Amino acid sequence: MLTCDQYHMPTSLADALALWQDAPEGTRLVAGATDILPWAREGRAGNVHLPAMIDLSRVPELDGYTVEDGRIRLGANVVYQQFLTDEKLRALLPCMPYCSIWFADDQIREQATLAGNIVNASPAADGTPPMLALNGELEIARLEDGDISHRTIAITDFIKGPGSTDLQPGEIVTAVICDTLEGYGGSFQKVGQRRSLVISSVCAVACVKLNEDDGTVADIRLALGGISPVPLRLTKTEQMLTGKRLTREMIVEAARQPADLVASRTRREYRRVVVRGFVEAAIEDALADCGAAVPNTDTRETANV
């Protein structure tokens, strides 16, 4: 059971930062709280007593999103359900509805935030691979001589390993900033032991845009989660496919390489097989999502994963 002496709900970023800076040792920041409550149970952390919890969900500076120059700033309070219900977000981030529908369930998506998912730095986080594919950064705030100062850091640099990040004492993640990919097709693949509410064994994301004149690949983004200590962007595979007219053979070939990246300690062979099928399926589903013709799928590896 999780217990605490103080539960704070600051209503401005300045208050939140001040509370956090002066918080007693062991204080935790809380966003949706959907991870911390199950964590403090028998079999995981057991009974946990915290001196204080600082809940960020009422900090207005963390709400909503803004779009500028092909980038979107998603406030740290943006919850997963918004990627399903907000039509503008669906258009700007075409892979996120698919990622979101695989994430937990309707109830938890109303509470759980993308920022919180990334900060937890789980190797299996569903939200991190899409953000790698979209060149994601985190906006981080801290107090400096009483004033709020910000820094940004690429998510690839922020996540150091399972549960380990670059967040410094006194810092609060205020936003996730990433590319907008309007007009791209998006997709997300995930496998776990149950459809809803399951931690990914493997997940894969793809975003694709084709040149209108000749149907060649104008841009493709691919990333994988669950196969190594930190999620991976598949830069080599992306380079291999950019500028090409995609054929069945090419997709199969592209899907072959990433299997070698599987570095999980458990179920390695299984994950290698899944990765191959998932990269293939992710590319094809993203093509279908942007209305492109999909190469013959009769021989597809993941007809029914």
Partner 1 sequence: MSEQTPTDLQLEFQINGRNMKRRAKPHQRLLDFIRDDLALTGAKEGCGAGECGTCSVFVDGKLVKSCLMPVAKANGTKIETIEGLTGWGGDLTPVQKAFHKTGASQCGYCIPGMVMAATSALRENPKADIEEIKERLGGNICRCTGYTKIFEAVEMARDVLSGEASATVLEADGPGKSYIGNNVRRLDAPSKVSGRLRYAGDMVMPGMLHMQVLRSPHAHALIKSIDTSAAENLPGVACVITSDDVPGEDGFGVFVHDQPIMARGRVRYVGEAIAAVTADDVLTAAHAVSLIKVEYEPVAAVFDAEEAMQNGAPVVHDYAPDNIVKHIPIRKGDLEQGFAEADLVVEQTYETQAVEHAYLEPEAGIAYVDHDDVVTVVSPSQNITHHRHMLAKIIDRPINKVRFIMSPVGGGFGGKEDMIYQGMLALAAMKTGAPVRLVYTREESIISTAKRHPARITYKMGLKNDGRITAVSFRMICDGGAYGLSTEGVMRKAAILSCGPYNVPNLEIDVYGVYTHNTPSGAFRTFGAMQSQFATESHMDICAEKLGLDPFEIRRINMMHDGAVTHTQQTLGSVSMGRVLDAAEKACRWDTGPVGMRGQERSDLGGDDTRPPCTLGARFRKTGDDDRQEVA
Residues found near partner 1 in the complex (CB under 8 A): 1-7, 9, 30, 32-34, 37-38, 41-43, 47, 49, 51, 53, 55, 57, 81, 84, 90, 97-98, 101-102, 104-108, 110-111, 187, 191, 195-197, 284-285, 288, 304-305
Of 154 and 305, the one with the shorter C-beta distance to partner 1 is 305
The DSSP element (H or E) to which 65 belongs, if any, is strand 65-68
Least separation in angstroms between CB 43 and partner 1: 6
Closer residue to partner 1, CB minimum distance, 34 or 122:
34
- Output the six-digit token pair for 206: 């793809």
Nearer to partner 1, 43 or 169 (CB): 43
Tell the smallest beta-carbon distance from residue 90 to partner 1 (Å): 7
How many CB atoms sit inside 10 A of residue 33's CB? 16
Q: How far is the CB of 116 from partner 1 (least distance, A)?
A: 12
Closer residue to partner 1 (CB): 42 or 68: 42
Q: Is the C-alpha dihedral spanning 264, 135, 154, 172 positive or negative?
A: negative
Q: Closer CB to partner 1, residue 59 or residue 159?
A: 59
Burial (CB count within 10 angstroms: exposed 0-12, middle 13-18, buried 19+), residue 67:
middle
Instruction: Quickly count: other Cβ atoms within 10 Å of residue 158's Cβ.
Output: 21
> Cβ 157 to partner 1, closest distance in Å?
31
Q: CB–CB of 19/64 below 8 Å? A: no
